[in-house]
Amino acid sequence: MLDCDAVIFDLEDSVAPEKKAEARDNLRRFFAETPLQGRETIIRINALDSCFGLEDIELVRDLAPDAVALPKVDDAASIAWLEERLLGLSSQVRIWAMMETARGIANAVDIARTARDAGSRLDCFVIGLNDLRKDTGVPARPGRTYLVPWMMQVVLAARAYGLDVIDSVFNDFRDHAAFDEECIQGRDMGFDGKMLIHPLQIETANRAFGPSCEAVEEAQAIIASFARPEAQNFNVITMNGRMVERLHLMQAEKLVAQANRIAERRKNA
């Protein structure tokens, strides 16, 4: 079993138009025969205005994956449209919005704000740079220099409304050094993880976005320090000669919880 957090089953770009029905049948059979314990399952459907979108949604209603990835989200109305068509389905089925058009990036805050609506399924933003480059004419360059401001705009919108946010794919899975650099860049920009296109990319992405042993040990030390009776009424404590605030405690608890989830997934693999 691959050491990844989630598996995205793509019905959109990777499937030719004449193969869409076959792909849906294959996916239905896969869900019936192959449980993916400990990994999120996401189905990327075709665009809502395509002739395949509604049939994809019917498949989603039957299979009830962990999430639906909606491509080319331009505005908040797209999220509302999909949520209407998921009515009656378990609230555990979430929506991942693919941010890959100029309009989508421009409307990132409005789209993210829908996560605050009662009953909203919106859970995550996913940057799609291949389509964004096509839509804007910005070429692929090392370091993604001219794309970074737009990417940070999406990260900021996601953080403002409590969404996860995932970095785009890296197309050349043989260029390990460049992929490693891009993972580090994405992590430092605030992304929670990265979309992958090949198993060879998994280990590098896990190393960049997963908590290191040193980070987990420090987080556990912070939790233990605040758990001491004499620290119960303090918002700031001193630990190993540096100031540590309760906001660091919240970050530490989140990191340890992430490490525990990863350990549990690997144990059940």
Burial (CB count within 10 angstroms: exposed 0-12, middle 13-18, buried 19+), residue 167: buried
Strand blocks (E) in 128-241 = 164-167, 193-194, 236-239
3-state secondary structure of 148: helix
Q: What is the DSSP letter of 87?
A: T
Q: Is the pLDDT confidence value at 36 over 80?
A: no
Question: What's residue 29's pLDDT?
Answer: 96
**Domains contained in the chain, CATH given:** 6-209 (3.20.20.60), 213-268 (no CATH)
With a cut of 80, say whether residue 125 has pLDDT above it: yes
CA-to-CA distance for 243 and 230, rounded, in angstroms?
Answer: 16
Checking if the pLDDT of 265 tops 80, the result is: no
DSSP class per residue in 90-144: -TT-EEEEEE-SHHHHHTHHHHHHGGGSTT--EEEEEE-HHHHHHHH-PPP-GGG
Fill in the DSSP letter of residue 168.
P
39-75 per-position pLDDT tens digit: 899 999 999 889 999 999 999 999 999 999 999 999 9
Range in 30-39, 124-133, 241-250 with the lowest mean pLDDT: 30-39
What value does the mean pLDDT take over residues 159-178?
96
Question: For residue 269, what pLDDT is reported?
Answer: 63
Q: What is the mean pLDDT of the chain?
A: 94
Q: What is the pLDDT of residue 34?
A: 82
DSSP state of 210: S
pLDDT digits (tens, 9 = 90+) for 175-197: 999 999 999 999 999 999 999 99
Integer distance in angstroms from the first to the last C-alpha of the chain? 6
